[in-house]
């Protein structure tokens, strides 16, 4: 029995069931109803070969700038993926046993084969999860593995992947091209000198790999490390930052520097999307309170709310798309954060309100077509009640795709079902993979394209839209909307394009 399986960037690989090729069914994620499945397959086949637009992610630019071979499978697949780490930790696997470095230098497992074997022994934990789906695709399509990962096959699969990683075809830039990535944006601190992006630009990759301006660290004025973050911003800026006015000037200069190296967006992670304008004197008082180490949590809340207003104002001036990621209680597990640092799987969603919190920003700037504000959420209960109505009204607002715990088969379906009727699809930002796991990028896009094809096929089957409409919508969801929303088409902000 022979199957045709999708490949990163839309290529196909023909595989036989006898050698394990049926590990990925060609109709995976499609509806079992034959009418829906037939249309979904048609739509997917028309979009699977489109280039990948990755406008928001966390891949380290150094990987592509240096283009050195990946060291071995564990360092590439297991250690950097917080989805994997958090699941194994939840089932009692110590982070030290997974080789996660500690802040205090406590010994951790150093043998990558031991870590890989431990991962394989617990691979069953990912059954039915999006992580399991991504990993299955990555192993099968990227590395050509034709057996299931498990305790008995772990060593064989490790050797197979390690051998391929040593070949030129598996160097980072070669995989970038093989994945058919058109644009990949990283996420970088406001103080980052962007040396790797400069190197990529000199190598002719400046249009392909772009930085994203993320000033969170210097906006959290009550955080214990705020002083160090401000000092880093001063070094990058090249001048002292003595007051609020010079702070804004430094951020403005850094935004321009990022844009000069290809940045098209900013990114802002906050606990709540609260926005409110402060006058210049009040903002300056909060800044000086922070300089003295006296800022409180309420001071930070007010300062961040004001700074979101400022970031929107500056986006209108410089054209950078503004991304907002609220609703994550960062480092919820204080013991883990203290020992292993941030981004070690301890971020938990909270209930998030948007209608009142975004009122000040949207009334100040939401009617200005020069602004594009992409809002993400971890709170699915807001899709139909708040986010879709807001995006369906304000010209500046776009809805980001399902994020973190919801970038899954069912999560993507719920997002489309709860937002399309009010906002349509053209007030959404397309898909982005939001990952630091480089080799999982094609798997995530493939899943999104399959799920969206199936959602549209259901609408066709119920005669809500016709097949021609579905084809146009499928392409938009897979490719066009991301390019348009992040202004990758070379277009000016919409006001200028409209002659406003």
pLDDT digits (tens, 9 = 90+) for 67-99: 999 999 999 999 989 899 999 999 999 999 999
pLDDT band at 345 (very low <50, low <70, confident <90, very high): low
Q: What gap in Å lies between CA 59 and CA 447, rounded to an integer?
A: 19
- What whole-number distance in Å separates Cα of residue 166 and Cα of residue 170? 7
pTM for this prediction: 0.93
User: What is the model's pLDDT at position 341?
Assistant: 86
pLDDT at 495 over 90: no
Mean pLDDT of all residues in 296-300:
98
Query: What are the tens digits of pLDDT across the range 307-319?
Result: 999 999 999 999 9
Tokens of 414: 């719920």
CB 437 within 8 A of CB 130: no
Superfamily of domain 174-497: Metal-dependent hydrolases (3.20.20.140)
Local confidence band at 405 (pLDDT 50, 70, 90 cut-offs) = confident
Q: Which carries the bigger pLDDT value, residue 368 or residue 4?
A: 368
User: What average pLDDT does range 378-386 have in this prediction?
Assistant: 97
For 227, 287, 364, 488, the CA distances from 230, given in Å and listed in that order, are: 5, 11, 28, 31
| pLDDT tens column, 121-134 | 999 999 999 999 99
Query: Above 70 in pLDDT, residue 4?
Result: no
Q: Which of 142, 123, 171, 160 minimizes the C-alpha distance to 440?
A: 142
Topology alike, domains 70-170 and 174-497: no
> Given a cut of 50, is residue 7 above it in pLDDT?
no
Q: Are 361 and 387 in contact (CB under 8 A)?
A: no
Burial (0-12, 13-18, 19+ Cβ within 10 Å), 169:
exposed
- Band (454; pLDDT cuts 50, 70, 90): very high
1.20.140.10, 3.90.1200.10, 1.10.3720.10, 1.10.2020.10: which CATH number matches 70-170?
1.10.2020.10
Cα dihedral across residues 490, 493, 495, 500: positive or negative: negative
Cα-only R_g, the chain: 23
Q: Where are the alpha helices (DSSP H) in 334-466?
A: 334-340, 359-365, 382, 388-391, 409-423, 441-461
pLDDT in tens, 23-74: 899 999 999 999 999 999 999 999 999 999 999 999 999 999 999 999 999 9
**How many other CB atoms are found less than 10 A from the CB of residue 296?**
13
Give the residue-averaged pLDDT of 205-219.
98
Residues in the chain: 500
Report whether 107 contacts 141 (CB < 8 A).
Answer: no
> For residue 344, what pLDDT is reported?
78
Pairing mode, strands 373-375 and 321-326:
parallel
- Tell me the mean pLDDT in the region 435-446: 96
Strand bridging mode 213-214 / 321-326: unpaired
* Strand duo 373-375 + 188-189: pairing: unpaired
Q: Answer whether 119's CB lies under 8 Å from 98's CB.
A: yes
Cβ(186)–Cβ(211) below 8 Å: yes
DSSP state of 19: G
Q: Which whole number is the average pLDDT over 380-394?
A: 98
- What confidence category does residue 342 fall into, taking pLDDT thresholds of 50, 70 and 90? confident
At 14, is the pLDDT very low, low, confident or very high (cuts 50, 70, 90)?
very low
**What share of the chain in percent tops pLDDT 90?**
89
On average, the pLDDT of the chain sits at: 93
User: Which has more confidence, 105 or 444?
Assistant: 444
C-alpha closest to that of 409 among 30, 41, 21: 30
On whether the CB atoms of residues 183 and 53 are closer than 8 A, the answer is: yes
Q: In this model, does residue 497 exceed pLDDT 70?
A: no
Quick one: average pLDDT of 237-250? 98
Mean pLDDT score, 461-477? 98
**Averaged pLDDT for residues 253-273:** 98
pLDDT score recorded for residue 215: 98
Q: Nearest to residue 277, comparing CAs of 366, 368, 219, 364?
A: 364
Q: Which residues contact 414 (CB under 8 A, 6 or more apart)?
A: 380, 383, 402, 406
Alpha helix locations (H) across 191-326? 195-202, 216-219, 226-237, 244-260, 280-291, 297-318
Contact 420, 466 (CB under 8 A): no
Q: What is the mean pLDDT of residues 294-323?
A: 98
pLDDT at 22: 62
Close Cβ partners of 80 (under 8 Å, ≥ 6 residues apart): 436, 437
- Give me 381's structure tokens: 């209960």
Give the mean pLDDT of 174-180: 98
Residue 152 to residue 117: CA distance in whole angstroms: 9
Domain segments of the chain as ranges: 70-170, 174-497
Banded model confidence at residue 1, pLDDT cuts 50, 70, 90: very low
Q: Classify residue 335 as exposed, middle or buried by CB count within 10 Å of its CB (0-12, 13-18, 19+).
A: exposed
Place of tokens 């995989």: 175
CB 83 within 8 A of CB 133: no
Percent of the chain with pLDDT over 70: 93
* Cα–Cα distance, 20 to 104 (Å, whole number): 44
pLDDT score at 352: 98
DSSP for 103-145, written as a single string: TT-------HHHHHHHHHHTGGGGTTSHHHHHHHHIIIIIT--
Q: How far apart (Å, rounded) are the C-alpha atoms in residues 239 and 50?
A: 45
Higher pLDDT, 453 or 8: 453
Residues whose CB falls within 8 Å of the CB of residue 334, separated by 6 or more in sequence, listed in order: none
Of 116, 108, 104, 80, nearest to 344 (Cα)?
80
Please state, as a whole number, how many other Cβ atoms lie within 10 Å of the Cβ of residue 477.
Answer: 26
Would you state the pLDDT for residue 218? 98
Residue 9: pLDDT band by 50, 70, 90 thresholds? very low
Does 492 score more than 60 pLDDT?
no
């Amino acid at each position: 029995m022979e199957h045709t399986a999708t490949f990163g960037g839309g290529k196909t690989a023909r595989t036989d069931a006898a050698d394990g090729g049926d590990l990925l069914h060609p109709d995976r994620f499609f509806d079992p109803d034959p009418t829906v499945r037939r249309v979904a397959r048609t739509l997917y086949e028309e979009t699977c070969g489109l280039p990948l637009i990755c406008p928001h992610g966390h891949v380290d630019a150094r990987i592509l700038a240096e283009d050195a071979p990946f060291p071995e499978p564990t360092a590439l697949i297991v250690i950097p993926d917080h989805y994997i780490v958090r699941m194994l930790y939840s089932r009692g696997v110590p982070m030290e046993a997974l080789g996660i470095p500690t802040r205090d230098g406590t010994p951790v497992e150093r043998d990558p084969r031991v870590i890989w074997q431990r991962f394989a022994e617990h691979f069953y934990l990912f059954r039915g999860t999006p992580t399991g789906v991504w990993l299955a695709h990555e192993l099968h399509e990227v590395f050509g593995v034709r057996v299931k990962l498990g305790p008995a096959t772990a060593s064989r699969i490790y050797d197979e992947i390690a051998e391929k990683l040593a070949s030129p075809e598996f160097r980072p830039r070669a995989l970038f091209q093989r994945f058919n990535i058109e644009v990949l944006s990283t996420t970088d601190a406001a103080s980052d000198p962007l040396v790797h992006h400069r190197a990529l630009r000199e190598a002719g990759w400046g249009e392909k790999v772009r930085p994203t301006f993320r000033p969170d660290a210097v906006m959290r004025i009550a955080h214990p490390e705020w002083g160090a973050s401000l000092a880093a911003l001063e070094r990058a800026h090249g001048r002292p930052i003595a007051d609020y006015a010079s702070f804004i000037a430094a951020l403005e200069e850094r935004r321009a520097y990022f844009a000069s190296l290809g940045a098209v967006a900013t990114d802002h992670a906050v606990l709540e999307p609260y926005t409110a304008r402060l006058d210049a004197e009040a903002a300056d008082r909060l800044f000086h309170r922070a300089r003295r180490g006296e800022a409180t949590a309420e001071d930070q809340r007010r300062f961040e709310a004001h700074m979101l207003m400022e970031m929107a104002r500056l986006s209108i001036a410089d054209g950078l798309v503004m991304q907002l990621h609220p609703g994550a209680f960062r480092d919820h597990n204080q013991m883990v954060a203290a020992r292993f640092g941030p981004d070690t799987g301890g971020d938990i969603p909270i209930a998030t309100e948007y209608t009142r919190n975004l009122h000040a920003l949207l009334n100040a700037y939401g009617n200005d077509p020069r602004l594009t504000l992409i809002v993400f959420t971890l709170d699915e209960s807001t899709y139909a009640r708040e986010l879709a109505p807001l995006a369906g009204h304000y010209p500046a607002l776009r809805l980001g795709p399902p994020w973190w715990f919801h970038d899954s088969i069912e999560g993507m379906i719920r997002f489309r079902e709860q937002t399309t009727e009010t906002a349509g699809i053209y007030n959404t930002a397309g898909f982005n993979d939001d990952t630091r796991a480089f080799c999982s990028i094609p798997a995530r896009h493939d899943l999104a394209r399959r799920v969206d094809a199936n959602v549209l096929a259901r609408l066709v089957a119920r005669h809500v839209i016709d097949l021609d409409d579905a084809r146009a919508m499928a392409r938009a969801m897979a490719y066009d909307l991301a390019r348009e929303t992040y202004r990758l088409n070379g277009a000016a902000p919409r006001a200028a394009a409209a002659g406003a």
